[in-house]
């Protein structure tokens, strides 16, 4: 069975590429080899290379393992922390229906 091709929006693709670049920079700044990081994250070196290239085919769990090895696990708790839109919707108490209203003929 062939693998499904992962299709990302250009903006999302750029975000992944930037994340991969940032991971690689963090590794290099810490003077850690790819072998050291992959061993500590319990992944293969080719997988680490794919992460550093921002590959969408690598599971998010593996990205998180590498981030933890590099000491960025606390940064993950700030994702969606300041959800301005969510707070506005909550404050407005917008009711979302479970299904669309029936059509009138």
pLDDT at residue 98 greater than cutoff 80: no
Q: Which residues contact 26 (CB under 8 A, 6 or more apart)?
A: 70, 72
pLDDT at residue 1 greater than cutoff 70: no
Write down the CATH number for the domain with range 10-77.
1.10.260.40
Q: How many CA atoms lie within 13 A of 20 on its CB side?
A: 18
For residues 16-22, average pLDDT: 95
Q: Where are the domains of the chain?
A: 10-77
Percentage of the residues of the chain whose pLDDT score is greater than 90: 61
pLDDT at residue 74 greater than cutoff 80: yes
Q: Can you read off the two tokens belonging to residue 17?
A: 């590429």
Q: How far is CA 39 from the centre of its chain?
A: 21
């Amino acid at each position: 069975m062939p693998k499904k091709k992962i299709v990302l929006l250009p903006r999302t693709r750029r975000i992944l590429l930037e994340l991969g670049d940032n991971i690689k920079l963090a590794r290099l700044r810490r003077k850690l080899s790819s072998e050291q990081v992959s061993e500590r994250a319990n992944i293969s070196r080719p997988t680490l290379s794919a992460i550093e290239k921002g590959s969408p085919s690598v599971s998010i769990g593996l990205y998180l393992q590498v981030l933890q090895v590099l000491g960025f696990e606390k940064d993950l708790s700030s994702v969606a922390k300041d959800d301005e839109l969510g707070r506005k919707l909550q404050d407005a108490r917008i009711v979302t229906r479970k299904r669309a209203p029936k059509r009138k003929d």
